[in-house]
């Protein structure tokens, strides 16, 4: 009887797999390529880990895909031909290729690229963080005034979470509103929320990762394009929040020479 039951179960599983296959797939939406962003529409009934690799020339960015219907990614390496590869986890650290295709972006303006909502700097009009950005900048006419309002809010109202880093997974991605509600986090969190709030009010902002003289470990900060400066300016709300808390004056715009960029989003 047990053998018969097991046999019937095996037949059922094979039949289910045939008619309802377990698989993962990602469909590419190129609608906004010339704004410097692509969208992956995801199907992952296998619940296996998936990754996306975006390459241009010798530069490569690897992203972990979350259990969402879609995710947006930047084309931040300038005009030209990009390659997008999607991968599915097989076992351990081994992945198999699901798809590979090219993307031709010829005209995207650098400033426009860094206004998009993307996986690592996500913003929508319904988020509390974005409501606050709108509130802070209401009635302000210049980019400098809007930047100051958001910068001052971030450095005065957020605290560094010294305990968080030890328990984070390697593929941790900040959630904008979760961090905003907590009002604390690590440098990655500060930079994500700062970038999202600035982008939402029309100020181009990069999330940057690398090294700085101010911090011993791998660090995250922002670069902000201010029309009055006619250039990208280094802004570090994580470091500056510590100075503000200690009531020590600090320049909002940091010297480029004190920072070494590795990645930018």
Three-state SS at 11: helix
Extract the runs of DSSP E, i.e. beta strands, from the chain: 24-29, 37-44, 50-56, 59-65, 70-74, 80-91, 94-105, 159-160, 184-185, 205-212, 215-226, 231-235, 259-264
Gap between the Cα atoms of 160 and 217, Å rounded = 14
**Which pLDDT score, from 0 to 100, does residue 203 have?**
98
Residue reference for tokens 């005034």:
145
Average pLDDT, consecutive stretches of 10 residues, N- to C-terminus, the chain (265 residues): 48 41 74 96 83 97 93 97 96 94 92 97 98 98 97 98 92 96 97 98 98 96 96 98 96 97 98
Cα(first)–Cα(last) distance of the chain, in Å? 60
**Which pLDDT score, from 0 to 100, does residue 24 have?**
65
**Which pLDDT score, from 0 to 100, does residue 58 have?**
94
**Which pLDDT score, from 0 to 100, does residue 107 have?**
86
* 110 burial level (CB within 10 Å; 0-12, 13-18, 19+): middle
**Which pLDDT score, from 0 to 100, does residue 4 have?**
53
Closest CA to 72 of 112, 121, 106, 105: 121
Domains of the chain: 20-113 (2.60.40.10), 128-264 (3.10.620.30)
pTM over 0.85: yes
Gap between the Cα atoms of 102 and 53, Å rounded = 12
Residue reference for tokens 């509103």:
177
pLDDT digit string, tens, across residues 211-250: 999 999 999 999 999 999 999 999 999 999 999 999 999 9
**Which pLDDT score, from 0 to 100, does residue 10 have?**
43
Given a contact cutoff of 8 angstroms between Cβ atoms, the answer to whether 202 and 213 are in contact is no
């Amino acid at each position: 009887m047990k053998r018969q039951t097991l046999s019937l179960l095996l037949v059922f599983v094979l039949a289910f797999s045939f008619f309802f296959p377990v698989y993962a797939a990602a469909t590419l939406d190129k609608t906004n390529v010339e704004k410097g962003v692509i969208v992956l529409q995801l199907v992952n009934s296998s619940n296996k880990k998936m990754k996306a690799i975006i390459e241009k020339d010798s530069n490569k960015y690897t992203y972990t895909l979350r259990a969402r219907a879609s995710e947006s990614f930047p084309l931040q390496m300038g005009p030209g031909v990009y390659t997008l590869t999607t991968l599915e986890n097989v076992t351990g650290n081994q992945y198999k290729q699901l798809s590979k295709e090219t993307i031709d972006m010829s005209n995207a303006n650098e400033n426009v690229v860094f206004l998009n909502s993307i996986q690592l700097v996500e913003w929508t009009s319904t988020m509390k963080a974005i409501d606050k950005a709108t509130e802070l900048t209401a009635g302000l006419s210049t980019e400098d005034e809007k930047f100051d309002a958001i910068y001052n809010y971030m450095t005065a109202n957020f605290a560094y979470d010294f305990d968080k880093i030890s328990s984070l997974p390697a593929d941790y991605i900040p959630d904008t509103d979760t961090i905003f509600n907590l009002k604390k986090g690590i440098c990655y969190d500060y930079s994500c929320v700062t970038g999202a709030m600035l982008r939402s009010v029309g100020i181009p902002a990069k999330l940057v990762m690398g090294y700085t003289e101010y911090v011993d470990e791998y660090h995250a900060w922002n670069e902000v394009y201010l029309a009055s400066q006619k250039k990208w300016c280094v802004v570090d709300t994580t470091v500056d929040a510590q100075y503000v808390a200690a009531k020590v004056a600090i320049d909002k715009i940091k010297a480029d020479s004190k920072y070494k960029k590795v990645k930018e989003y």
